[in-house]
């Protein structure tokens, strides 16, 4: 049995706490919001995971030091926009060599840093890692079969995380490509917004398939230019995560996109979804990265114009369809 602190009691943090508790570990679940913790203690319910009853054996707390003290593993599960601020608060309670697994998905807009890069910058004494893949909290919390990837630069760290999370319903692979994992995780949210916008506008399955296929091409090209590995983008944290996020109504990014496609403004859509829509925060960063590395990303460009320049979905779809003629794979030879 390991002692684990889960920092962040949103749907994903709570689902992970339930999973780890069911695996036989001692789990503390922390929130910065006292009312949220008190409600979970009193009702053993999470307002956004209504189908499950929370285990009494989890320790629900607002004491950050207690949630981190003498832990074998910490899971940082706050939304990406809060990772830096939360990591800064965690620093004074973090022991040397502490493994911190980030499960948020995003790129910081101002610095273009990934989540593990932010964590390492704020908590130099820690050992950051990432856990990612096609894993909606609503399904993980209910024990539906799920697969993810534990990413770390150190093999023994990735394998340790794997050993803690593995269960009959949660299969974990390992990978040294932390950067590729994080780029895929962040940018698939932007493509999922595009997929949702297309759904809301009234496009069909053909459009969805095109966005997923061309979206992973954009993500992989950028990720490889940044130093990620091609294999990562063909796997669970690349195409796997992209498929589930573009296709499922559990995806807050897709749901927000649907509303925008129907004519809602970005702010109206985010209020309606009532949870953090990570893709909105990653969209500008993705566009900035595409310019920094000189990688064309037409889907990302159109999403930014729809989100931040009030471009109608109809025009965005037309501009994508009417781009200059291209060859799909430029490295394939023609017959002479």
Instruction: Return the active site residues.
Output: 188
Measured in degrees and rounded to the nearest 5, phi and psi for residue 27 equal: -125, 130
Cα separation, 192 vs 254, whole angstroms: 5
| Angle, CA 199 vertex, CA 194 and CA 200 arms, to 5° | 95
Half-sphere exposure for 138 (CA within 13 Å, toward CB): 11
Single out the residue of 236, 7, 218, 288 nearest to residue 132, CA to CA: 236
Measured in degrees and rounded to the nearest 5, phi and psi for residue 202 equal: 110, 15
Cα separation, 144 vs 282, whole angstroms: 28
Bridge partners, residue 167, by sequence:
170
CB 147 within 8 A of CB 169: no
- Secondary structure of residue 303 in the 3-state scheme: helix
| Edge-to-edge strands, sheet with 99-102 | 59-61, 26-30, 3-7, 73-76, 99-102, 127-132, 146-151, 170-175
Cα separation, 264 vs 273, whole angstroms: 12
- Which of the 8 DSSP states describes residue 23? T
Reading the block at residue 59, the tokens are: 């320790």
Polymer length of the chain: 336
């Amino acid at each position: 049995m390991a002692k684990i602190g889960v920092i962040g009691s949103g749907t994903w943090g709570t689902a992970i706490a339930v999973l780890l508790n069911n695996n036989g570990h001692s789990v503390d679940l922390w929130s910065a919001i006292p009312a949220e913790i008190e409600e979970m203690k009193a009702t053993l319910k999470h307002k956004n995971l209504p189908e499950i009853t929370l285990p009494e054996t989890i320790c629900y707390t607002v004491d950050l030091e207690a949630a981190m003290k003498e832990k074998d593993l910490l899971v940082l599960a706050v939304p990406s926009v809060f990772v830096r601020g939360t990591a800064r608060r965690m620093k004074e309670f973090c022991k040397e060599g502490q493994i911190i697994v980030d499960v948020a998905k995003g790129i910081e807009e101002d610095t273009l840093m990934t989540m593990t890069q932010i964590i390492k910058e704020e908590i130099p004494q820690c050992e950051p890692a990432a856990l990612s893949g096609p894993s909606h909290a609503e399904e993980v919390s209910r024990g539906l079969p799920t697969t993810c990837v534990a990413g770390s630069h150190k093999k023994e760290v990735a394998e340790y995380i794997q050993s803690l999370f593995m269960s009959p319903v949660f299969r974990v692979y390992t990978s040294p490509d932390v950067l590729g994992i994080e780029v895929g995780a962040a940018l698939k949210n932007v493509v999922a917004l595009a997929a949702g916008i297309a759904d809301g506008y009234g496009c069909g399955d053909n459009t969805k398939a095109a966005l997923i296929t061309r979206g992973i091409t954009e993500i992989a090209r950028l990720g490889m230019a940044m130093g990620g590995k091609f294999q990562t983008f063909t796997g669970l944290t690349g195409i796997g995560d992209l498929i589930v996020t573009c296709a499922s109504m559990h995806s807050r990014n897709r749901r927000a996109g649907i509303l925008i496609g129907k004519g809602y403004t970005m702010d109206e859509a985010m209020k309606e979804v009532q949870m953090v829509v990570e893709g909105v925060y990653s969209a500008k960063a993705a566009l900035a990265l595409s310019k920094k590395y000189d990688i064309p990303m037409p889907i990302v460009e159109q999403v930014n114009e729809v989100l931040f320049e009030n471009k109608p979905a109809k025009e965005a779809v037309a501009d994508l369809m009417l781009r200059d003629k291209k060859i799909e794979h430029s490295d394939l030879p023609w017959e002479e």
